[in-house]
């Protein structure tokens, strides 16, 4: 049976960078990447709407969830600056757009190609359609049993399988081999995903986009507030601020979502605007009362919901609805639409300087399979780059 120095299970962002860093640390190693899909880096191609939001210029621990302390230590050990220096070495030019960092080409495929080329040029072997189902430590190495019936031995293993977000693979196959080796995991939930809501209130708004502030609430306590473009859809709501609060819906912490449809105006300013319309728009039909102020269909819907009373009291009710349009969440749209996973393998049994298991010598874990998830905006990819780089270089040094 074939034995390699290092087997990397998973050919996504963290796995490919782990491969590169291992071979840059020790070029003589035999390294094999085992990818379950028919090609590596499929999820990477969809990040940043196909533009690949590589990282953020404002990486802070507060933008991470799960084991935030572990994330902070990892990011100290391999920073955003080191990540960008490494990509520069791989001939990937980048550009900052506001707080986000993208490839200069604005093509995720260019990022994947640079990673693939580097792996190939450094001598790594990449095997696709090679899902690992069983990982067995032996006295001298690890035995990796594949779904296709074949097997491989490796002196070191890096587990970089990602999460169920955006794919069709069984969650069990991603986590179970590591859990069986004594590593506990937190329950997993889809995050950075569209939110399902009650539909009666928003059915007339399907297809409309508005700028709004989105507040996740629990028993009238504010959990999180985000601003940006919100899309009303046939299942509920989407858009960047919705994705940011979706973790709280997925885990069941949020019991109400409140939309402020005029986040740049106070409620008193909205009331003034509406009172002026009582006079200026007195001859308009109800369906046109808010035309020129709000999106037409949004205005028609809210006017009806507020009772349609053209009086001072009616305008106060309408202003309150504009500033606090409440929806009841009904869950999220599921794993296949999610960009990331909340939960996963608990990091407490891994060294944040090397990503090596404290329970199983020679086993390293990196990327999204761990119980760390970041906000939308390059934070998850930065954690993947950092953990992959640390795991790859550390595994290689242990073999020198």
How do residues 111-128 score in pLDDT, each as one tens digit? 999 999 999 999 999 999
Query: 204 with 321, same domain?
Result: yes
Same-domain pairing of 174 and 237: no
Give the dihedral sign, CA 263/268/274/276.
negative
pLDDT < 70: residue spans in the chain: 168-172
Query: pLDDT at position 300, please?
Result: 96
What pLDDT does 1 receive? 79
Whether residues 264 and 307 share a domain: the answer is yes
Are the C-beta atoms of residues 134 and 176 closer than 8 Å to each other? Answer: no
Which of 283, 306, 332 represents a domain boundary (last residue)? 332
Looking at the structure, tell me whether residues 181 and 213 fall in a common domain: no
172 and 206 fall within a common domain: no
Domain co-membership, 290 together with 141? no
pTM reported for the whole predicted model: 0.94
Please identify, among 309, 332, 355, the residue that sits at the C-terminal boundary of a domain.
Answer: 332
Task: Residue 27: give its domain's CATH number.
Answer: 3.50.50.60
pLDDT of residue 22: 98
**What is d(CA 273, CA 36) in angstroms, rounded to the nearest whole number?**
58
What is the per-residue pLDDT for 172?
A: 54
Whole-number pLDDT of residue 169? 52
Q: Please write the tens of the pLDDT for every residue from 143-170.
A: 999 999 999 999 999 999 999 998 755 5
Residues 37 and 165 in one domain: yes
Strand pairing report for 3-9 and 31-34: parallel
Q: Give the pLDDT confidence of 19-65 residue by residue, as tens digits.
A: 999 999 999 999 999 999 999 999 999 998 899 999 999 999 999 99
Shared domain for 391 and 359, answered yes or no, is yes
183 and 201 inside one domain: no
- Tokens standing for 98? 């506001």
Return left, alpha or beta for 277; rule: phi > 0 is left, psi -120 to 50 is alpha, else beta. alpha
Domain of residue 17 covers 3-189+337-398
Residue 171: its pLDDT value, please?
A: 58
**Is residue 210 domain-shared with residue 304, that is, in the same domain?**
yes
Q: Kindly report the CA angle at 365 between 29 and 23, in degrees rounded to 5?
A: 20
In the listed set 312, 332, 352, which residue is the last one of a domain according to the structure?
332
- What pLDDT, on a 0 to 100 scale, did the predictor assign at position 167? 75
Pairing of strands 185-191, 151-159: unpaired
Q: Identify whether residues 71 and 142 lie together within a single domain.
A: yes
Number of domains comprising the chain: 2
325 and 371, same structural domain? no
């Amino acid at each position: 049976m074939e034995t390699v120095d290092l087997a990397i299970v998973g050919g996504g962002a963290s796995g490919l960078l782990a491969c590169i860093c291992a071979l840059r640390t020790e070029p003589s190693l035999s390294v094999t990447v085992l990818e379950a899909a028919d090609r590596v880096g499929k999820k990477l191609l969809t990040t940043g709407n196909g533009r690949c939001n590589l990282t953020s210029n404002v990486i802070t621990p507060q933008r991470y969830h799960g084991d935030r302390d572990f994330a902070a230590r990892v990011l100290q050990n391999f920073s955003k600056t080191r990540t960008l220096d490494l990509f520069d070495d791989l001939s990937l030019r980048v550009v900052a757009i506001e707080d986000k960092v993208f490839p200069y080409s604005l093509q995720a495929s260019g990022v994947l190609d640079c990673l693939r080329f580097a792996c190939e040029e450094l001598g790594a072997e990449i095997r696709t359609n090679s899902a690992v189902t069983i990982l067995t430590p032996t006295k001298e190495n690890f035995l990796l049993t594949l779904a296709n019936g074949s097997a491989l031995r490796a002196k070191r293993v890096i587990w970089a399988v990602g999460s169920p977000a955006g794919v069709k693979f069984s969650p069990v196959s991603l986590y179970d081999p590591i859990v069986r080796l004594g590593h506990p995991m937190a329950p997993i939930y889809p995050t950075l995903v569209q939110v399902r809501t009650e539909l009666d209130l928003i059915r007339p708004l399907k297809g409309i986009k508005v700028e709004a502030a989105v507040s996740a609430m629990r028993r009238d306590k504010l959990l999180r507030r985000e601003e940006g473009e919100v899309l009303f859809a046939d299942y509920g709501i989407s858009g960047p601020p919705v994705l940011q609060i979706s973790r709280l819906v997925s885990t069941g912490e949020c019991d109400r979502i409140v939309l402020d449809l005029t986040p740049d105006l106070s409620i008193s300013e909205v009331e003034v605007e509406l009172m002026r319309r009582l006079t200026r728009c007195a001859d308009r039909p109800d369906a046109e009362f808010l035309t020129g102020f709000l999106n037409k269909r949004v205005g028609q819907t809210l006017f009806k919901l507020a009772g349609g009373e053209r009086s001072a009291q009616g305008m106060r009710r309408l202003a309150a609805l504009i500033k606090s349009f409440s929806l009841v969440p009904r869950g999220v749209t599921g794993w296949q639409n999610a960009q990331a996973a909340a939960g996963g393998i608990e990091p407490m049994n891994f060294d944040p300087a090397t990503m090596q298991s404290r329970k199983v010598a020679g086993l390293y874990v990196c990327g999204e399979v761990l119980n760390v998830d970041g906000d939308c905006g390059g934070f998850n990819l930065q954690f993947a780059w950092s953990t992959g780089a640390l795991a790859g270089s550390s595994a290689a040094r242990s073999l020198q």
